[in-house]
Structure 1
């Protein structure tokens, strides 16, 4: 999440991948662009609370305050920090439950750091911190209801799983381990201590099925985008291509320790932007 470059929700990362969000949103018409950056700002602020070094009780209280403010927004009493959101909420029919799901996802790291969640918990985490962002976003992009929900489901999970695989070492440095318990046990790893797990020779056996799951989600997301108008899916297509390229680099590098950082270089990012935004 954000003390370092860790497995924060995919749609609002700050480093190299963060530029994918910025580039993808810059191509949108003004009203859509403004709505997307409002969603980004909301996610950044609640993410910063979850990842702060403050007492856990204070962080929980701060996240609850955001829930209260979201409720007030939807009751027509928008607080100052959400006043500009009212027009976007109405224009794009953004749903209260998706904003709240994002807060719930951030909160999953607050009572205790996530360590080796079971697959069901990991999927819930991905849904809240990534696919919920997608469900807000597809309404701004203008996708139909069914395909929009389906794209958010698959692309959100694809991006978040890619983040988790990329940020194993950074997450471990702050005491977090998002690799699923079932995969760890199948590889013969019984510890959930992040620092021990990242040094395990069997770690590639844990990561390989997670990479395959991410790949399958990318394929399903592509199927949805392929049957929709190109202009409507330009922004999510750019995000998808950026992150799929990162996943390919991760798989090519491998997951055995030591792991060199993986980033998509500027030329590759520019090529994706030119191909899917301008040509």
Structure 2
């Protein structure tokens, strides 16, 4: 199985409607966004599926090193092998990929948010930055597009939080800010 096929299977298996929207993109952009989405799934699954937080932290640390290796031209995982050719083409920044990992790590460190600014910081890491990376892959030409992409990522994440209140609560995570619940 090629790295691109691995990413396609990872993205399709998620059941997300995002995957189907990728099919309308030109081939190179489709490969790039699918690899980015597969990366997001990999690190999100690390936190959601591994019950031992120390094991999850270790795996996230491995992903941090893997992103660094990819940026040096030495990826080893199918996802980073698939993503690597698109980093320079679309100007994908390593600090943005690392920020996604930071967001996943926040789920290991924090299960409640006192206020909206705290929640907004989390949302930027797990979704806003994904919007920025996606806009780069989609070929934005206006600088303001990145701000819109970030805000759209925030809106998507807030929608997910509302949709998943029960599921997240069963996992011990309550994303609705404490001060707003009071």
Assess same fold via TM > 0.5. Answer: yes
Asked whether the equivalents of residues 117 and 178 of structure 1 are also in contact (C-alpha less than 8 Å), the reply is no
How far off its partner does 1:172 sit? 1.0
RMSD of aligned Cα (Å): 2.0
**Residue aligned with 1:110, SS:** helix
In structure 1, what is the Cα distance between the partners aligned to 2:121 and 2:114?
Answer: 10
- Please, what TM-score do these two structures have when normalized by structure 2? 0.87
How far off its partner does 1:175 sit? 1.2
After superposition, residues 24-103 of structure 1 pair within 5 angstroms as 24-81=21-78, 82-103=80-101
Query: Aligned residues, how many?
Result: 171
Q: Which residue of 2 aligns with 1:5?
A: none
How far off its partner does 1:93 sit? 1.1
1:141 lines up with 2:134 in the alignment: no
After superposition, residues 192-207 of structure 1 pair within 5 angstroms as none
In structure 1, what is the Cα distance between the partners aligned to 2:75 and 2:171?
Answer: 35
- Please, what TM-score do these two structures have when normalized by structure 1? 0.58
Q: Quick one: structure 1 residues 137 and 143, their matched pair in 2 at CA, closer, same or farther if it must change by over 3 Å?
A: same
Q: Which residue of 2 aligns with 1:264?
A: none
Structure 1 residues not aligned, in runs of 5+: 1-10, 186-279
1:154 lines up with 2:146 in the alignment: no
Asked whether the equivalents of residues 66 and 75 of structure 2 are also in contact (C-alpha less than 8 Å), the reply is yes
Runs of 4+ with >3 A deviation: 11-15
Structure 2 residues not aligned, in runs of 5+: 1-10
1:170 lines up with 2:162 in the alignment: no
